[in-house]
Amino acid sequence: MIGLPSMTLAEYAAYERDMGARVAESGGVFWRRVRPLFYRPLFLLEPLDAGGVTPPAEARWGGWQFVVGDAARANGSIDVLLFRNASAYSLDRLEKKRRWEVRTAQRHFTVRRIESPRELTEAHPAYVDFQRRTRYGYRSDRVDARRFAEWAQAVFRHPKVRVLGAWEGGTLRAVSVLQRVGTTLLYSTFFASSGALHRHVASLMLHEVRRLAAESGCVDQVFAGLRKAGREASVDEFYLQRGCEIVRLPACLRVHPLTGWCLRMIRPGLWRRLSGERVGVAESAKAGRASSCLSAGSR
């Protein structure tokens, strides 16, 4: 069985920095820069005290957002994708079509842990295929074999990270990268070749991730990322069709007044997603809470 050791928040922050994320520590919290001048906590799921948050200095000119435990202190929300009750997972509980996908993929692929950077670099052709298919912009420099090898070395500098690979014959066709923080397993990275996707490798890899979480005895939930918008929302559908839930977490958004005005005027869609606006749902009351919380962000 593959162990899933828990990373401390400092260890997770070090890993994310090695992956290229902009991470800053402020007020005892590690923050990720998700856009210029805009920050969220690195471990997003942990509620913070709305009255005691100190964001990075740069955020005061832009904004910051965090989950709160007291919904009365929220002025918006963050939608996340979670596989909850992880210990109860079983392949037999999936819909018939999803079980068929996993069992079909099992006839083509062997899934096991990748244990060295050298082994991970074998996935470079699959990554190049993934980039050509999706045109995914983040760290696209890894299409260069040297950059990909550097990334592989960086992943394995962190011994608590777990990397799974799917082999077809002797060829590595898909990769999943996992981290556990507390009782949450973060399914942070997945890529595969086009041919492997046609043979349902994504369903198989998700099954293996959830099976590991269930058998570990230390994982309550699997985090599959933030709810996406636009054309990227189709990625969420893959998870939602396999038992994932959209969980709306109460959140506080604090924005410099000038930045907030610019967003509302120039990027209203982005502003609505950040503030969790829902048309016709207690809009005036929410606006009152927003004015209080947003003004606090200008200090």
Q: Tens of pLDDT along 149-158?
A: 999 999 999 9
Q: Quick check: 214 pLDDT over 70?
A: yes
Query: Within 10 A of 98 (CB to CB), how many other CB atoms are there?
Result: 18
Q: What is the pLDDT of residue 135?
A: 80
Q: Which architecture does CATH list for 85-219?
A: 3-Layer(aba) Sandwich (3.40)
Kindly report whether the global pTM for this prediction surpasses the value 0.85. Answer: yes
Least-confidence region, from 110-119, 136-145, 185-194: 136-145
DSSP 107: T
Q: Quick check: 246 pLDDT over 90?
A: yes
Q: Quick check: 16 pLDDT over 50?
A: yes
- The residue count of the chain comes to 299
Q: Quick check: 274 pLDDT over 70?
A: yes
Q: What is the pLDDT of residue 43?
A: 97
Q: What is the pLDDT of residues 38-87, one digit of tens each?
A: 999 999 999 999 888 999 999 989 999 999 999 999 988 999 999 999 99
Nearest of 296, 297, 247 to residue 276 by alpha carbon = 247
Q: Quick check: 188 pLDDT over 60?
A: yes
CA pair distance 138, 149, nearest whole angstrom: 16
Q: Quick check: 30 pLDDT over 50?
A: yes
What proportion of the chain, given as a percentage, has pLDDT over 90? 73
Query: Within 10 A of 241 (CB to CB), how many other CB atoms are there?
Result: 13
Contact 185, 223 (CB under 8 A): yes
Where do the structural domains in the chain lie, given as residue ranges?
A: 34-79+250-296, 85-219
Beta bridge partners of 253: 65
CA pair distance 210, 215, nearest whole angstrom: 9
Q: What tokens does 274 get?
A: 């950040």
Tell me the average pLDDT across 20-35.
95
